[in-house]
Amino acid sequence: MQGDFRIGKWLIQPQINALQADGGTKHVEPKAMQVLVYLSEHTDEVVTKERLIGAVWADTFVTDDVLTRCISELRRAFEDDAKNPHVIETIPRGGYRLLASLDGTLEALQTRGGPIDSIAVFPLENASTDPDTAYLAVGIPGSIIHSLSQIPRLQVISWRSTSSDENRQSDPLAIGRKLGVRAVLIGRIWQRANKLRLHVDLLDTANGEEIWGDQYDRNLTELFAVQDEISREISQKLRLKMTGEAERRLTKRYTENIEAYQLYVRARHWCEKRSAEGFRRGIEYLNQAIQKDPNYALAHAEFAQCISIPCYYGSVDPNVAYPKARAVALRALEIDPNLAEGHEVLATILKNYDWNWVEAEREYKRAIDLNPNYATAHYHYSYLLAELGRFEEAIREATEALSRDPMSALLNAGLAFVLLHARKLNRCIEQALTAAELDPNMTLCYWTLGTAYEQEGKYREAIKAYGKCIALGGAVAFSRAFIAHVHGKSGERAKAWDAVRELQELSKTSYVPSVASVIVYDGLMEKDLAIDSLQRACENRETNLIMIKVWPHFDNLRDDPRFQEIERRVGLRR
């Protein structure tokens, strides 16, 4: 079953594991959704447990209990009574049957007319050999996404290409149907010197027909005007009603400087890699962009992100990075008080450095209110929710972020990280491996994988994943500490103590957070040394203390009153 479909009053959205009815949304586990989809594909049939398990868990051995839990979760979501079912019936010694009738697949729903309320925007096909054009092939759709996101009640999804041949050759219409959107935007770009040719097509996913298409032959200096024109045309062809304010925001330009814009696009590409090299190059490009246009609010907001996020990986002193990031974020909001990106990065600073959880949550919500399609805001808000222990909300928010950009390695890794905190290890590993396939060089994937494997007692796999982090040059101190933690837990204490000395030596030439020592000492079961290091981390306002409530590497310390006092100081215990 492709795309969305209905069961009774419920709109089922498999792509985001959601059920909607009566103005509310409920999220279920991905495997539970797969069970529901399979039952929906076999209506009026009794589907045996063996058949369901074979379809949903094809390569994994699971017991009937796992399937039973999925059915129970679906019944709770549907408010269905097992004794008097109206959605899913249990057939004794037989299996399960879907009782409720389906009401329209996505294709049927799309033919009913009315405004088109969802769109997936694809990267442009680069028909040039100029490497600069490759950035525009991603940057132009990114700008169009940003513009279309200003339209109320329009769901905008980014679909990016990956290196896999399968993805490159995929049919955009088929992908659009799978995503459950009503339209897709595709196109090609050619560039020769200062000349630009851009061809775009807006297609109806229901029937594959062209809603609108055009070709633009312009100078590169006219790029912004072309982007404005495309956004206006799309909004008109989708038959969307907009207020004057929405129309103004649709074509709002954050810079008139083409060079600054190109530098910003390059910077975003690098910053999203979440690697030491990525942050270094991103900051370099953003510095240049701001020099070209000091009033480029988006560049200021992205600059604040690039400065502050390395603190999360323990590679930068928070007392150096966050004050600078705050100044840059406030400058972005001074230029544009309604910039969602500015409110989002300010929220991150309030959370990670000020430990002001209430104000941080308020700023995240403000960013999402300003731009509900802003995936990064949903992504970082999910971290706050997870760090507070609000796991169901966190998973929902991380899933919401991913639904806006399903091929983002970062957002896939982010969901995996949230699942790790929620101790849903099987899903976490599955999600982290997906992220690693999308970008094999993303540190967060392997950090998350290593921790999940360690929690499962798979120490060899954990060390291999942590070692990948070191090879990538990201979170080096933490990665060494993680490996030492495994050595300590597995009885190789000499190797763990060697890591203590390595971290001390490393601290002579680069920043090493005290939390790294906490991790090593925890693995060695040296509680007093771990608490001493934790207290130093608190005095230094180290970023990773925000995870103190949920991080697995702190589990052995939780019952210590000194640990609980630090939780209070961070604002995570009353």
> pLDDT tier at 42 (50, 70, 90 boundaries)?
confident
* Residue 349 in this model has a pLDDT that exceeds 70: yes
Element (H, E) at 253: none
Do 204 and 127 share a structural domain?
yes
* Residue 535 in this model has a pLDDT that exceeds 50: yes
The distance in angstroms from the start CA to the end CA of the chain is: 48
State mean pLDDT over 198-225: 85
Q: For residue 408, give the nearest of 264, 547, 271, 266 by alpha carbon.
A: 271
Q: Rounded mean pLDDT of the chain?
A: 87
Between 138 and 422, residue with greater pLDDT: 422
**Spatial distance between the Cα atoms of 397 and 559, rounded to a whole number of angstroms:** 30
Residue 156 domain-assigned (yes or no): yes
Looking up residue 159, the CATH number of its domain turns out to be 3.40.50.10070
E strand map for 327-444:
none
> pLDDT tier at 74 (50, 70, 90 boundaries)?
very high
Report pTM.
0.76
| Lowest-pLDDT range of 23-32, 100-109, 331-340, 524-533 | 100-109
Residue 52 domain-assigned (yes or no): yes
Residue 264 domain-assigned (yes or no): no
Report whether 207 contacts 214 (CB < 8 A).
Answer: no
Count CA atoms within 13 Å of residue 25 on its CB side.
12
Do 243 and 165 share a structural domain?
yes
Which long-range contacts link 422-427 to residues 24+ away (Cβ below 8 Å)? 422/386, 422/391, 422/394, 422/395, 423/455, 423/552, 424/395, 425/452, 425/455, 425/456, 427/29, 427/30
Between 135 and 412, residue with greater pLDDT: 412
Digit-coded pLDDT (tens) for 107-145: 443 444 456 788 889 988 888 777 667 788 888 888 888
Cα distances (Å, whole numbers) of residue 273 to 8, 116, 125, 277, 379: 43, 33, 22, 9, 15
Domain termination residue (choose one: 218, 253, 288): 253
Alpha carbon 167 to its chain's center: 19
Do 237 and 183 share a structural domain?
yes
Do 131 and 88 share a structural domain?
no
Looking up residue 48, the CATH number of its domain turns out to be 1.10.10.10
Between 165 and 287, residue with greater pLDDT: 287
Do 195 and 135 share a structural domain?
yes
**Spatial distance between the Cα atoms of 448 and 446, rounded to a whole number of angstroms:** 5
Digit-coded pLDDT (tens) for 467-508: 998 888 777 899 999 999 999 999 999 999 999 999 999 899
pLDDT the model gives residue 404: 85
User: Please, what sign has the CA dihedral across residues 525, 529, 532, 538?
Assistant: negative
Region class of 121: left (phi > 0), else alpha (psi between -120 and 50), else beta: beta
Domain termination residue (choose one: 75, 105, 135): 105
Between 525 and 21, residue with greater pLDDT: 525
* Residue 557 in this model has a pLDDT that exceeds 80: yes
**pLDDT over 70, % of the chain:** 92
Number of CB atoms found within 10 A of residue 97's CB: 17
**Spatial distance between the Cα atoms of 381 and 365, rounded to a whole number of angstroms:** 8
* Residue 451 in this model has a pLDDT that exceeds 90: yes
pLDDT the model gives residue 239: 63
Residue 135 domain-assigned (yes or no): yes
CA angle 171, 177, 183 (to 5 degrees): 90
State mean pLDDT over 267-285: 87
Report whether 375 contacts 369 (CB < 8 A).
Answer: no
**Tokens coding 506:** 């490393």
Do 161 and 101 share a structural domain?
no
pLDDT the model gives residue 105: 46
pLDDT the model gives residue 94: 76
| Number of residues that make up the chain | 574
User: Please, what sign has the CA dihedral across residues 6, 9, 14, 15?
Assistant: positive
User: Please, what sign has the CA dihedral across residues 124, 125, 128, 130?
Assistant: positive
Q: In this structure, which amino acid lies at residue 435?
A: A
**Tokens coding 22:** 């009566």
Domain termination residue (choose one: 76, 105, 134): 105
pLDDT the model gives residue 59: 63
**pLDDT over 90, % of the chain:** 47
Do 78 and 54 share a structural domain?
yes
Number of structural domains in the chain: 2
Between 25 and 279, residue with greater pLDDT: 279
Report whether 146 contacts 269 (CB < 8 A).
Answer: no
Domain around 15: 5-105
Digit-coded pLDDT (tens) for 245-259: 666 777 788 899 989
Q: Which residues contact 521 (CB under 8 A, 6 or more apart)?
A: 500, 527, 529, 530, 533
Cα distances (Å, whole numbers) of residue 331 to 253, 288, 336, 339: 17, 16, 9, 11
